[in-house]
């Protein structure tokens, strides 16, 4: 607005073409900058929604933002997240946007290495191209860190990266997120937040012996979650899931970490709430709740051993 009125006034005063052009190029520059600033701030929001912060920051040992080094214990060994700041030597400063999109959606590094699925590219392959661009724009603005990457401590044969290639052939199908016209916009937004960005299934779905999620039991909980912890059933099954929670019970948990009985959510979900869901808008938190409440209820208890005996899911 301001730019166009300035240009118009100046044109009326019959300034030379050169000056008018100079004003136009300044305006074009300013608007490009505004849109890239918007991209960066959307990217910061998405980074939280997608939980990158909690995995790629070693808060426990005073690590800086996205400098990596956080240990992730799994049945296959311990993984250490890499530095994803734009440092050219220690981070991903030498990458271009295409490299980033390939890593996020195909699980392949610029030198052709196949990533371990502990980096949830299985879910992130469903992130839209626009959102990936915004994430990339934000990553370029994070202060650089010179923290070197730590080698994973993974058991044979999983220590061979080629095994990831075989794993991907068997279990990885990149997802394209589609809007379902039979559902509301809120449901569709919730589906995108839960399945692609929030990768909730990574922890809440049981896995097979090779670590692939069992889609038949999606969100039904598991006794063998990250760090060997139990992860509850979040399908709307009344007895073993969250079927008796109201929509506001769910949004309240995502905002504050409080469960309906007044207790506080613990273990890795506390990190998810602190670094991810509590940063979301109320609309996005409600969209997640709407989507969760629409899931098919699956009877599977992971709460107590007694209840687990009644379970109809063989977790491992």
Residues that bind ligand HEC (CB under 6 A): 50-52, 55-56, 72, 79, 81-82, 84, 92, 100, 103, 109, 115-116, 118-120, 124, 135, 194, 198-200, 202-204, 225-226, 229, 231-232, 234, 242, 250, 253, 259, 265-269, 272, 277, 288, 292
Are 230 and 311 contacting, i.e. CB atoms less than 8 angstroms apart? no
In this structure, what DSSP letter does residue 127 have?
Answer: S
Q: Which is nearer to ligand HEC, 23 or 147 (CB)?
A: 147
A 10 A CB-CB count for 230 gives 16
* Rounded-to-integer distance, Cα 246 and Cα 49, Å: 22
Q: Which is nearer to ligand HEC, 28 or 228 (CB)?
A: 228
Angle at 304 between CA 225 and CA 255, to 5 degrees: 60
**Residue 35 Cβ, how far from ligand HEC at the closest point, in Å?**
21
A 10 A CB-CB count for 12 gives 8
Q: Can you spell out the DSSP letters for 98-132?
A: HHHHHHHHH-B-TTSPBPPTTS-HHHHTTS-HHHH
Beta-bridge mates of residue 153 = 78
Q: Which is nearer to ligand HEC, 97 or 183 (CB)?
A: 97
Q: Can you spell out the DSSP letters for 251-295?
A: HHHHHH-B-TTS-B--HHHHHHHHHTGGGS-HHHHHHHHHHHHTS
**Residue 37 Cβ, how far from ligand HEC at the closest point, in Å?**
20
- CA 60, 103, 95, 43 dihedral sign is negative
Q: Which is nearer to ligand HEC, 153 or 312 (CB)?
A: 153
**Residue 140 Cβ, how far from ligand HEC at the closest point, in Å?**
12
Are 46 and 132 contacting, i.e. CB atoms less than 8 angstroms apart? no
User: In residues, how long is the chain?
Assistant: 316
**Residue 23 Cβ, how far from ligand HEC at the closest point, in Å?**
39
**Residue 104 Cβ, how far from ligand HEC at the closest point, in Å?**
6
Which residue reads 């993974």 in tokens? 154
**Residue 255 Cβ, how far from ligand HEC at the closest point, in Å?**
12
Q: Which is nearer to ligand HEC, 23 or 272 (CB)?
A: 272
Q: Which is nearer to ligand HEC, 32 or 227 (CB)?
A: 227
**Residue 34 Cβ, how far from ligand HEC at the closest point, in Å?**
24
* Rounded-to-integer distance, Cα 289 and Cα 179, Å: 18
Sheet harboring 77-80: ordered strands across? Answer: 71-74, 77-80, 153-154
Q: Which is nearer to ligand HEC, 17 or 215 (CB)?
A: 215
Q: Which phi and psi angles does 159 have, rounded to 5°?
A: -70, -20
**Residue 266 Cβ, how far from ligand HEC at the closest point, in Å?**
3
Are 65 and 44 contacting, i.e. CB atoms less than 8 angstroms apart? no
Q: Which is nearer to ligand HEC, 116 or 167 (CB)?
A: 116
């Amino acid at each position: 607005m301001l730019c166009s009125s300035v240009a118009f006034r100046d044109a009326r005063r019959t300034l030379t073409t050169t000056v008018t052009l100079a004003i136009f190029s300044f305006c074009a520059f300013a608007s490009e900058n505004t849109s890239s600033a918007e991209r960066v701030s959307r990217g910061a929001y998405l980074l939280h929604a997608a939980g990158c912060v909690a995995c790629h920051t070693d808060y426990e040992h005073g690590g800086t933002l996205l400098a990596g080094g956080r240990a992730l214990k799994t049945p296959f060994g311990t993984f250490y997240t890499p530095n994803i700041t734009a440092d050219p030597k220690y981070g991903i400063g030498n990458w271009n946007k295409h490299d980033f999109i390939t890593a996020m959606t195909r699980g392949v590094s610029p030198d052709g290495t196949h990533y371990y699925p502990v980096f949830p590219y299985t879910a992130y392959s469903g992130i839209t191209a626009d959102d990936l661009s915004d994430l990339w724009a934000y990553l370029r603005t994070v202060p650089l860190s010179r923290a070197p990457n730590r080698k994973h401590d993974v058991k044979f044969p999983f220590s061979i990266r080629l095994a990831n290639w075989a794993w991907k052939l068997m279990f990885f199908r990149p997802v394209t997120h589609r809007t379902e016209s039979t559902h509301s916009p809120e449901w569709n937004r919730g589906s995108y937040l839960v399945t692609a960005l929030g990768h909730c299934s990574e922890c809440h779905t049981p896995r097979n012996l090779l670590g692939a999620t069992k889609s038949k039991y999606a969100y039904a909980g598991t006794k063998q979650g990250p760090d060997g912890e139990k992860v509850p059933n979040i399908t709307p099954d009344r007895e073993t899931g969250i079927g008796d929670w109201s929509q506001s019970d769910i949004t309240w948990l995502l905002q504050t970490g409080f469960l309906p009985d007044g207790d506080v959510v613990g273990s890795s979900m506390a990190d998810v709430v602190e670094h991810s869901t509590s940063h979301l808008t109320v609309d996005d938190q409600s969209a997640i709740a709407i989507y969760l409440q629409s899931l098919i209820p699956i009877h599977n208890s992971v709460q107590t051993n007694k209840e687990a005996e009644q379970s109809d899911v063989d977790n491992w």
